[in-house]
Structure formats: structure tokens, C-alpha cells
A and B are shown apart, each in its own frame.
Chain A
């Protein structure tokens, strides 16, 4: 695990330690700084998208200690010691995660703006329930809005990912 320290001058003085995609960060954050601002503006991880800023579309879904959370509604100051996974942390080196592979191969991507949020939500779903039915998937993902696909190929890709991940587990 590599370690980076980014210390920023700020009005507020709270220091937090975050592990983002396996990298460790010590950050001085203001009390109102959202995790979305921290990861996008401070850490340069712009893969997580800003779409509404008010928790209405789930485009900014990340995993905080394995749970799907909205980065736009999470305050960095509250996350001392948390492990955060963003879309940039999903692949292992050159090897795409089976969820990413499934989205690519099933044509589940159009504009791509909601894609990172969907990938993280599907990751959370499949970690909780490796055998979801189509309706399980539709229900779990109901907060993640997509304006391009009608969700058809996103649901197909999620089913495919579940199949592939089981295949990996069986090995």
C-alpha cells in the first residue's frame, strides 16, 4: 500500500485519514467539504461524477467500507479511517473487474456519465447478493438514474457480471 500525504490549508482544522483505492491520505478538511469534493478536487479522481449534488441521482455512488454511499452527501470530516473505493479502484491493474467487462461487452454504456455510479452500485449489490434475480437488480438500482439506456442493457450487464463473478469464485 502506497502512502501519500496531501495537506491543504483550510478554514477548518479537522485532520482525517482516508484510504482511497488502497492509497492512504492524510487530509485537512473543512467541516462542510463533501467526499465528492475531496476525491474529485483534491485527489483528482474525477471518475466519480457530480450530477445533482443533492442525493437525487446516485451518479456519485462510491463504496465506503464496502457499503454504497453517495459521495455528494457524505462529509469527508466524518469518514476518519474509512476505506473508500471509487470507479478508479475497481480494476486490478490492467484487468477489468467482471462488472466492468460485462458493461463493455453488453453495450450497457452510452453517454457514460451515470456509469461509474452504476458500476459501484452493482459491485455493492453483488457483494451482498451474488445471485440476484432481474427484479432484485432493478429494485436495488432504482436510485441510480440513467437517461440514455432505459436500463435494459445495464440490467443485462449486471446479470452477466453475477454469472462471471460466480465463475471466478468457483475457480
Chain B
């Protein structure tokens, strides 16, 4: 076992840069139009790529005729399965998809062939001239049907359409239920939410004359992409460079290697010219990735006012290929075990393959599915047992020092404070008007999801270089994806080095510059990269102190760093500036100032079975709460949220402004899922109902209620400066808070997301009919 590397924290400290609302380092580029996203990259002599996608949900490819397309003027290459490397996309044992289909298509949007041409219009025209003979098969759309033994099989090599299943138990649930005073069992459903990144997916690939490959793309995982592409094309790793450019929205949607990455690289190799391949908005909807639709059944045993036993059964719709379904399932089940103190827990999870778009990572990663079910049921239990829902939660809430049944150790826990602050914010105890209701829910998450890429350790790296004028460069392996990662790294470096924030430049997302890093997902960046940056900066500090000692003639122990100077502790006036020391190191000693930092939490050791077995503990755990007030028009079912308060225990907010932005974004995705977003639904032929932003409604500025985002700082001992992370918790929380508030207002319980006025009206009608029936009898 590796020893846990606790980054040393000077807690609770007063910081110069950490905790300050400094402007983001990328803000100026973004307000002036200088930031370059994938479509803005223009290489000389480049071509456009276009993909021919399957119009059928399930079909055998009998014949592909590219001859007509090849003859079109301006077309430089047409490729099919036989032209691409025989590499399967997907993670580890779940790899099951070729970039271009071999002999079968499995959903509307599946890649069949591709074209490179002089411009986009020509490429599109040619792609439409590729003739394909299909033998149409019966599609399987519903996951419950797909799991039946006689269902049409998507992947012939599999024994069933169950892509992955997971079963485990802690304690003894049978005994737990036997001993319980009350048992509750309820089933909840959530929809297939679309990420709707403002920038569509795509890349620019250039196969260079020295047989190296450069790819410019908006990705969360530059180093994993490098590794996958090198393997796919059998290139040495030093011959593949990923240049992560501006990322126009990620939310988990950019944590896979996509077929277009291989297709564009292949087209570039074939033509000797760079190829730009940008998906259309339609393709973005039906042919990238989505959230897993879920059916979650929770059985809870309560003794007195304590939850003792819990059993969760989850069925996820995986879409047509496995990708990260096993891990989303793992995350869902594991969260279910750890939301509250529980003695016994059992999980049975299934991810079913269907002829629909691929479901992969999406903000929350199983959290919104389990969070909606679990936190809706908590209110239902509290009501049946005549307990106050807040008090019931507090009675069962995790606390600092707890070690859960799955082995999570909570070294910090601000859950109680999150509950108190959010309920206070919306005036929980104030008198309510008719048709108004209040609801709340708690959230749980972790820093760094360990299941996802379980074939090596979850490492982050940083290099800090100090120039001879005392300014510094930070080179980190992660990726700025819009969350403020580069800014946080600059703040952590500036704080550690004791130099102004403006004196630090950050470079992330370039695989040739930085050392290996897992990437930006799973709420890991600020803690894991932050720890690496701190270690690297501390190495520079040690060199500065050593040189300072030489210059001042005082031992290192007698020196301290104070506002860009190294001072003699006993006589602060005796000092030498950092720039003088740096200059002395370069010019006087003929050396250079470089520090490196590598951080890998012991909890993130590779584990091939992580997708079946519950994962081990995480470096840090996040807690949160959402409370809101809603007003319902019982004539129409329309409802209006008065105010939402959301609190997250993030350990320590590096940049409060950016941290609030994460809560607000989380809330936005969670609230969209809970209300207006229909989810990508399909007709029985497997045709998606939505292909445009005009049909797939997302919330606008006029729709959003007032938000009170509250940062709770519990100063965790593991991360640097007490940092844990912040994102994803609130996305998983708001759905149940809304369902609970609507119940409070109307007495109807909606167990299916999204919650629409139509569903409310239907439930109200049922309730009235039942009341009338009861009245008559």
C-alpha cells in the first residue's frame, strides 16, 4: 500500500491569495474573443471532415459503396471500417465500439463512414452520396425489455444485453429488515438528460510528416486521449500531442475518446492534410453522450427514528455501448451506501444496452438518480412516522469522524451547517401561505471518482518554474474546462510561493508540456492538482531558502518567507527579495529554479473490479443541502420556485466567486433535469424526439429563480489548504428538494423526473377522485 500523502496544511490560516475573489486568469481572453475553441483552430491547407451516421437504430451493414462519393470534386478521402485501426473505444474491459462500425449499427447516429473534403459543404454532400445496404433489425429501446433473455441482442459477443451488473452487501440487510420497526419501499425514475454543451464536440487532427499526430480538441482528459490515440494508431507516446483548447462546456460530456477523434486522425493520415471535424448541433444531441435514464427502487428499514438498513436496486439504460456505465452504476450504488449512517446496505445494479444514444459521464455521475430517489423517500418516511423531515435528516446525518459501512472516513463534515444555513435562508420555519410549500434535500459526493479509469493510479502532476525576476510558471496536467481550474492553480502556487497572484502564469491541457494526469472530472482537479502544485512550489521554496541562507549567512531554519522576501526570523529587516535570490540562483550559481509535484492519493490504486465491487474510500467527501420554496397553481399545475438556497461543504473555497459559480451551475443542471428538460426520448423505431435546442428546452435567465449559494468550509486535513472540491453535489440534490416542496404544497408525490405541470395536474386529479370515492364510501 502506498502511504497517503497528506499535503501539509497551515490550518486554519489567514491566506494572501487563497480564499480571495481574484478575477479568473482566462477572463480577459474570454471577454475579448481571443479564447480559441476547437472550431476556431485553423491550420494551413486543412480539410473538413464529415461522418455518415446510421439512420436506423438497429441494422446489419450489408454493403457500403463509396465510389460515388469519391468521385465528387473536392473530396480527398472516404473511409470505412477497413481503413481505421482495429481499436475499440471504451474503458478497459468495457471497450466495445469501433470508430466506424464493422458490420452492424446499434443506434441512430452510429458512425458508418467518413469523408474529408476541401470544405464543409462538399464533405457533407459526399457523405450523403455514400450508399449503404442495411438489413433492418428489431430495435430494443426499453431497458427492462432489453434485459429479458429473449430480447434482440445488441452485441452478439455478449451473453445478454446487460452491459454490467453489480451486487454487494455490507452488514446483514435481511436481519436489518427483520429487526426494523418500519419498512418503506418506493420506486423512482429519472430521464435521459442531455449535456447541451454550448460548443459542439469536435477536433482538428494533423498527421504530421514525421509520423506524429497532433490533435486540438475541447477535452477533459488530454493525457488519457494521448494514451488511447497512441494505442489506437500504434504510435510511441512521444509522437502524440493533445492540445486542449478552450472548452465550451464539459459537464462530463468530454471524458471519453470519441469516434471522431480517430476518424479525423485517420483522414489526416490518409490525406497528409489537417482535418477539422466539428459536429452539428443535431449530432450533438443524438450522437454524443447523455445521462443514464434510471429506475431506482429503495427499501429502507427504520428503528425508532434511525435508519438501520437500506437496499437499493438500480436499472440504468446504458445506450448502445458500454463506455462508463459500469462506473456510473458503481458511483450510484456507493453513494446510496454513504448518504446517511446505516448499519446494513445491499446494492443490486444493472446497466442495460439499448438501441439508443450512448449514456456516459454527466455531472453527478449517478448522483442525481440516487439522490432524487433517496431524498424523496426520506421525506415520505418522515411524514409516515410523524417526524420533522429536517430533524429526521439531522438524526441520521453523517458527522465528522464517522467511518461508514463502506469504509469512508469523514475527516471533515459540514453537513449539519449546510442543512441549517439553507433552511434558514429560505425561512423554513416562517408561516406559509396557501399553495406554497417548502422542501429540502441533502447531497453527498466525493473528490476524485476512482472507478472510471481503473487501469492505473489516479495521479496529478505539476511543474513550477520560477524565473530570474521572481515570477513563476505553473505547468499542470489537468485541463481548464471552464470551471476556473487554471485560476485555482495560480492561487495555490502564489500562496505557496508567497508571490502576487498576477506573477503566476498557468499552462494546462498540453500533453507535451505537462506530465501525466488523469484529467478534469470527478471533482478532482482542485484537490489533486492543487496538492501537486503545492508540492512543486514547496520544492522551489526549499531551493530559495537554501540560496537565501547562503546570501544572508543565516541557517535555513532561521529564515521565513514574508511578502516576496526571505527574512531572518529574528530580525525581519534583514532580508533579501525573491527576485534577488532567483537571480542569484540563475546568474550567480548557474542553476535553475524548478520544482515538481506528484500527487496520488493512496485511495486511488488501480482496481480492475472497481466497477463491480464498491470502490474504496476517496481522499475527501463533499456534503451539501438544498432548500427551496415553491408556489403551485392547483388549477393548472404550473409552479414557481420562490428562492433556492444551496450550500456545499467544499473544505475551503480557493476562489469564492468561482466556487459559487460551481454551485450555481450545478443547480442549473439539476433544476433543468427536475423541471423543463424532457430528456432525449425515443419512438419505438429508435428515432430520437429532440434534435434542436428549440425543442429540447433548457432554462433561460427569465426562468431561473433567485439563488443563494452558500459556501461551507470544513477545512479538510487531506487536501492542500483544507480544499475538498465543490461541484456535482447540488446537481444531485435539487430534484428531491423540489419534489418534497411540491408535496408540502399539494400533498402529491411525484416520483418521476422531470416534474411537469401535466404530471402535477394528473396527480391532483387522481387525488381528488380518490377523495371523492372515499367520501362516497
Are A and B associated in one complex? yes
Which residues of A pack against B, CB within 8 Å? 40, 44-54, 56-57, 59, 86-88, 90-91, 96, 100, 103-107, 109-116, 119, 137-139, 141-155
Task: Name the one of A49, A96, A146, A147 contacting B31, with C-beta atoms under 8 angstroms.
Answer: A96
Task: Tell whether A87 pairs with B661 under 8 Å between CB atoms, given A54-B281, A111-B247.
Answer: no
Task: Tell whether A154 pairs with B692 under 8 Å between CB atoms, given A49-B248, A110-B483, A146-B198.
Answer: no
Q: Which residues of A contact B482 (CB under 8 A)?
A: 110-112, 148
Give the distance in Å from the alpha carbon of A49 to the alpha carbon of B200 in the complex: 11
Task: Name the one of B31, B248, B251, B707 contacting A103, with C-beta atoms under 8 angstroms.
Answer: B31
A46 near B40 with CB under 8 A, answer yes
Cβ distance B480 to chain A, nearest Cβ, rounded Å: 9
Cβ distance B25 to chain A, nearest Cβ, rounded Å: 11
Q: Which residues of B contact A44 (CB under 8 A)?
A: 42
**B306 located at the interface, meaning its Cβ lies under 8 Å from any Cβ of chain A in the complex:** no
Cβ distance B383 to chain A, nearest Cβ, rounded Å: 30
Q: Which residues of A contact B667 (CB under 8 A)?
A: 150
A111 near B249 with CB under 8 A, answer yes
Cβ distance A124 to chain B, nearest Cβ, rounded Å: 15
Task: Name the one of A57, A112, A137 contacting B35, with C-beta atoms under 8 angstroms.
Answer: A112
Task: Name the one of B27, B32, B40, B198 contacting A88, with C-beta atoms under 8 angstroms.
Answer: B32
Which residues of B pack against A, CB within 8 Å? 21, 23-24, 26-37, 39-40, 42, 195-200, 246-251, 280-281, 481-484, 655, 657-658, 660-661, 664-665, 667-669, 692-694, 698, 700-704, 707, 709
Cβ distance B501 to chain A, nearest Cβ, rounded Å: 14
Give the distance in Å from the alpha carbon of A45 to the alpha carbon of B36 in the complex: 11
A147 near B33 with CB under 8 A, answer no
Task: Tell whether A49 pairs with B694 under 8 Å between CB atoms, given A87-B32, A113-B37.
Answer: no
Cβ distance A109 to chain B, nearest Cβ, rounded Å: 5
Of the A-B pairs whose beta carbons lie under 8 Å apart in the complex, a sample of 6, sorted by A's number, is A52-B692, A91-B32, A100-B31, A109-B24, A138-B701, A145-B698
Give the distance in Å from the alpha carbon of A48 to the alpha carbon of B32 in the complex: 10
Task: Tell whether A112 pairs with B26 under 8 Å between CB atoms, given A59-B198, A138-B704.
Answer: yes
B700 near A109 with CB under 8 A, answer no
B33 near A45 with CB under 8 A, answer yes
Cβ distance B654 to chain A, nearest Cβ, rounded Å: 13
Task: Name the one of A106, A113, A141 contacting B249, with C-beta atoms under 8 angstroms.
Answer: A113
B24 near A57 with CB under 8 A, answer no
Among B195, B198, B701, max chain A CB count under 10 A is at B701
B665 near A51 with CB under 8 A, answer no
Task: Name the one of A52, A141, A153 contacting B657, with C-beta atoms under 8 angstroms.
Answer: A153
Task: Name the one of A51, A114, A115, A139 contacting B200, with C-beta atoms under 8 angstroms.
Answer: A51
Cβ distance B525 to chain A, nearest Cβ, rounded Å: 14
Give the distance in Å from the alpha carbon of A113 to the alpha carbon of B29 in the complex: 11
Nearest-CB residue, chain B, relative to A117 = B198
Cβ distance B416 to chain A, nearest Cβ, rounded Å: 26
Cβ distance A134 to chain B, nearest Cβ, rounded Å: 9
Task: Name the one of B37, B249, B655, B704 contacting A148, with C-beta atoms under 8 angstroms.
Answer: B249
Give the distance in Å from the alpha carbon of A146 to the alpha carbon of B197 in the complex: 9
B27 near A51 with CB under 8 A, answer no
Task: Tell whether A113 pairs with B701 under 8 Å between CB atoms, given A148-B249, A153-B657.
Answer: no
Q: Which residues of A contact B30 (CB under 8 A)?
A: 109, 112, 115
Give the distance in Å from the alpha carbon of A144 to the alpha carbon of B665 in the complex: 16
Nearest-CB residue, chain B, relative to A107 = B657
Task: Name the one of B23, B655, B660, B700 contacting A143, with C-beta atoms under 8 angstroms.
Answer: B700
Q: Which residues of B contact A47 (CB under 8 A)?
A: 32-34
Nearest-CB residue, chain B, relative to A37 = B120
Q: Which residues of A contact B698 (CB under 8 A)?
A: 145, 147
Give the distance in Å from the alpha carbon of A56 to the alpha carbon of B711 in the complex: 34
Cβ distance A40 to chain B, nearest Cβ, rounded Å: 8
Instruction: A104-B28, A110-B484 are known; give 7 further A-B pairs, CB within 8 A.
Output: A112-B246, A113-B246, A115-B31, A137-B701, A142-B700, A147-B668, A152-B664
B32 near A100 with CB under 8 A, answer yes
A154 near B33 with CB under 8 A, answer no
Task: Tell whether A105 pairs with B248 under 8 Å between CB atoms, given A56-B694, A111-B482, A147-B698.
Answer: no
Q: Which residues of A contact B195 (CB under 8 A)?
A: 147
Cβ distance B20 to chain A, nearest Cβ, rounded Å: 12
| 7 A-B pairs with the lowest CB-CB distances in the bound complex, closest first | A47-B33, A111-B482, A113-B248, A112-B30, A107-B657, A150-B668, A150-B664
B280 near A148 with CB under 8 A, answer no
Task: Tell whether A154 pairs with B701 under 8 Å between CB atoms, given A56-B692, A114-B198.
Answer: yes
A52 near B693 with CB under 8 A, answer yes
Q: Which residues of B contact A50 (CB under 8 A)?
A: 39
A150 near B707 with CB under 8 A, answer yes
B281 near A53 with CB under 8 A, answer yes
Task: Tell whether A147 pairs with B249 under 8 Å between CB atoms, given A57-B198, A104-B28.
Answer: yes
Nearest-CB residue, chain A, relative to B705 = A150
Cβ distance A115 to chain B, nearest Cβ, rounded Å: 5
Nearest-CB residue, chain A, relative to B644 = A150
B692 near A107 with CB under 8 A, answer no
Q: Which residues of B contact A112 (CB under 8 A)?
A: 26, 29-30, 35, 246, 248, 482
Cβ distance A52 to chain B, nearest Cβ, rounded Å: 5
A119 near B31 with CB under 8 A, answer yes
Give the distance in Å from the alpha carbon of A48 to the alpha carbon of B36 in the complex: 11
Q: Which residues of A contact B692 (CB under 8 A)?
A: 52, 54, 56
Task: Name the one of B36, B197, B200 contacting A46, with C-beta atoms under 8 angstroms.
Answer: B36
Among A51, A90, A141, A150, max chain B CB count under 10 A is at A150
Give the distance in Å from the alpha carbon of A119 to the alpha carbon of B30 in the complex: 11
Give the distance in Å from the alpha carbon of A105 to the alpha carbon of B657 in the complex: 9
Among A104, A113, A146, max chain B CB count under 10 A is at A113
Give the distance in Å from the alpha carbon of A137 to the alpha carbon of B698 in the complex: 18
Task: Name the one of A53, A56, A87 contacting B280, with C-beta atoms under 8 angstroms.
Answer: A53
Task: Name the one of B33, B34, B35, B199 contacting A51, with C-beta atoms under 8 angstroms.
Answer: B199
Q: Which residues of A contact B280 (CB under 8 A)?
A: 53
Q: Which residues of B contact A116 (CB under 8 A)?
A: 33
B199 near A113 with CB under 8 A, answer yes
Task: Tell whether A46 pairs with B28 under 8 Å between CB atoms, given A110-B661, A114-B198.
Answer: no
Cβ distance A104 to chain B, nearest Cβ, rounded Å: 4
Task: Tell whether A51 pairs with B198 under 8 Å between CB atoms, given A104-B28, A107-B21.
Answer: yes
A149 near B664 with CB under 8 A, answer yes
Task: Name the one of A105, A141, A147 contacting B23, with C-beta atoms under 8 angstroms.
Answer: A105
Q: Which residues of A contact B21 (CB under 8 A)?
A: 107
Q: Which residues of B contact A59 (CB under 8 A)?
A: 198
Give the distance in Å from the alpha carbon of A148 to the alpha carbon of B483 in the complex: 9
Task: Tell whether A87 pairs with B196 under 8 Å between CB atoms, given A51-B248, A111-B250.
Answer: no
Nearest-CB residue, chain B, relative to A145 = B698
Task: Name the one of B250, B281, B660 contacting A107, with C-beta atoms under 8 angstroms.
Answer: B660
B702 near A147 with CB under 8 A, answer no
Nearest-CB residue, chain A, relative to B251 = A147
B661 near A149 with CB under 8 A, answer yes
Q: Which residues of A contact B281 (CB under 8 A)?
A: 51-54, 56
Give the distance in Å from the alpha carbon of A9 to the alpha carbon of B742 in the complex: 62
Task: Tell whether A111 pairs with B701 under 8 Å between CB atoms, given A49-B248, A100-B32, A148-B661.
Answer: no
Cβ distance A36 to chain B, nearest Cβ, rounded Å: 11
